[in-house]
Structure 1
Amino acid sequence: MLNPSTRRIALLAPLALLTLQPHAQQSKTKVGIVNVQTVVSAIPSGSGFVTLSRKADADLQAQARNVQALQAKASARGATTASKNAYTAAVKKYQTATQTYQKQLAAAFAPLATRVNTAVASVARANGYSVVLDQRAAHGLVIYADPRSTDLTAAVTARVKAGK
């Protein structure tokens, strides 16, 4: 599983090519967005992944807030060695937790991946989409998307429920 920075770079590279190549913009490329967590929650065996994902999000957000608070203290004028050490320890804890959650999420998603990916590909092909992004990954990348024409979540969820 890619870390968020690597994933953003991997997602931005094709978008940069579209920007740099004017002829690429003239083609009728349709980009769709799918909320993978919503799709996975429609699969009875997907509840463990969704629960783990929510737990990871909450825990990592809390740790990130702690790191930010400790960073402010550690970088303040007259910061003590103890505050700098606390910041360093919090960063290491956050990095370790991120790696652990990424491994756990990858393992939990593995048995669901084929079903979800097959449904996404099927809906995308049937509707003429050439690129489909996970809504969570696209969150920081996409500036504007009309959900009426780009959100494939309902169609993919229906496909997964139908077992196709």
Structure 2
Amino acid sequence: MFKFAALSKVSNIPKVALLAPLALFALQPHAQQSKTRLGIVNVQTLVTALPGSAGYVALAKKADTEIQDQAKSVQGLLAKASAAGASAASKAAYTTAAKKYQASAQSYQKQLQASFAPLAGRVNAAVAAVAKAQGFSVVLDQRVARDTRLIIYANPQTTDLTAAVTAKLKTGK
């Protein structure tokens, strides 16, 4: 009679509840075997090494220099315009310089995007080919990952694909 009472209690438990622990044990080794490898690349280095990128690189340097110079000028004019007793002329000069700075930044951004578009496809294809060949699941731009603090630590000896991708870009294969 005791065994019958125990079986009747078990039959009241849903079958899913009985199978759940078994399923967890069956899936555990599979979950441990799948590994996601994360790689990093320095996109700036790749673009510089890419044949045919000289125009883009020169434009990027020119844009950086001019935008930085304009930003310094705007900051100086802002200091004068926000000082006590600032003249209307200094305020107008600041407003004009700030508008010019914004227009220049937007113009350069459009030019850089247009100039980079044909290069981006080649860089992305090379990164994807090297990552796939070496078993990497995800590859991030080193600078973006650093600036956004997305990655706290990465061993460059095991995660940096920049040299391999640069070699692929130079050979074109």
Q: How does 1:1-164 map onto structure 2 within 5 Å?
A: 31-138=38-145, 140-142=147-149, 144-146=152-154, 147-164=156-173
Cα displacement (A) at 1:154: 1.7
Aligned-partner Cα distance in 1 for 2:101–2:36: 38
Scaled by the length of structure 1, the TM-score of the pair is 0.70
- Call closer, same or farther: CA 1:66–1:113 in 2, change over 3 Å: same
CA distance in 2, matches of 1:86, 1:158: 50
Aligned mates of 1:89, 1:139 — CA distance in 2: 35
After alignment, is 143-152 or 51-60 more displaced? 143-152
Q: Which runs of 5+ in 1 are unaligned?
A: 1-26
Q: Is contact 2:51–2:170 with CA below 8 Å preserved after alignment?
A: no
| Distance change in 2, residues 1:71/1:157 (3 Å) | same
Supply the AA of the counterpart residue of 2:120.
A
The change in CA–CA distance for 1:124 and 1:91 in structure 2 (over 3 A counts) is farther
**Cα displacement string for residues 95-148 of structure 1 (whole angstroms, at most 9, x for unaligned residues):** 111111111111211221211111122233344544434344445323744444
1:29 Cα deviation from its structure 2 partner: 5.8
Post-superposition offset of 1:42: 1.6
Is the CA contact (8 Å cut-off) linking 1:119 and 1:160 kept in structure 2?
yes
1:33 Cα deviation after fit: 3.6
Measure the CA separation in 1 of the matches of 2:92 and 2:81: 8
- Over 3 Å counting, the alpha-carbon distance change for 1:87 and 1:150 in structure 2 is farther
Q: Secondary structure at the match of 1:68?
A: helix
Q: 1:30 to 1:97 in 2, by over 3 A?
A: farther
SS in 2 for 1:132: strand
Tell me the amino acid that sits aligned with residue 119 of structure 2. Answer: L
Any idea what SS the aligned residue of 2:53 has?
helix
Code of the residue aligned with 1:103 in structure 2: it is K
